[in-house]
Homo-oligomer: A and B are copies of this chain.
Amino acid sequence: MTPAGILETTLYAGDLDAAETFWRDVIGLEPIVRAGNRHVFFRCGDGVLLIFNPQETSKASTSSALPVPPHGATGPGHICMRASGEEIDRWKAHLESNGVEIEADFRWPSGGRSIYFRDPAGNSIEFAEPSIWGM
């Protein structure tokens, strides 16, 4: 038995307003739900990007019906979203026109390009061609 795939990917952000604005308006993800100062969730392809405020999610659940275990990391995390080479060109121009600095832009030795930037919480975000993983 092996997992069919990843359904939820998580980032943490102390300022959910800034996170919501960035991921919705600059990256263009479709919001699913915002729960006060605890979380904001987005649909992304066939998965979900969860952005949590670790100050809230590190508290134990008070719901006996939904005993979601506590979690919550601090410091910059990392995710990578899939994009074609042509899309990476367009993302780079789009990000720069929105004042988002491209922190790195290079090709891997085995082929495929990645660009990196930061979300408002300082997480390291990447767009990459799936070919970097042989896909």
Chain A interface (Cβ < 8 Å from any Cβ of B): 1-10, 12, 27-30, 32, 43-50, 52, 54, 57-58, 65-83, 87, 90-91, 94, 103-104, 106, 108-109, 116, 118, 123-124, 126-128, 130, 133, 135
Contact B8 A104 (CB under 8 A): no
Q: Is the CB of A74 within 8 A of B74?
A: yes
Copies per assembly: 2
The answer to whether B70 touches A73 (Cβ under 8 A) is: no
Main secondary structure of the interface of A (DSSP, over half): mixed
| A58 to B128 alpha-carbon distance, docked (Å) | 21
Q: Decide: B44 and A6 in contact? CB cutoff 8 A.
A: yes
Instruction: Tell me the minimal C-beta distance from A132 to chain B in angstroms.
Output: 8
Pick the 8 closest A-B CB pairs, nearest first: A5-B45, A8-B80, A73-B73, A3-B81, A71-B124, A73-B75, A2-B28, A7-B82
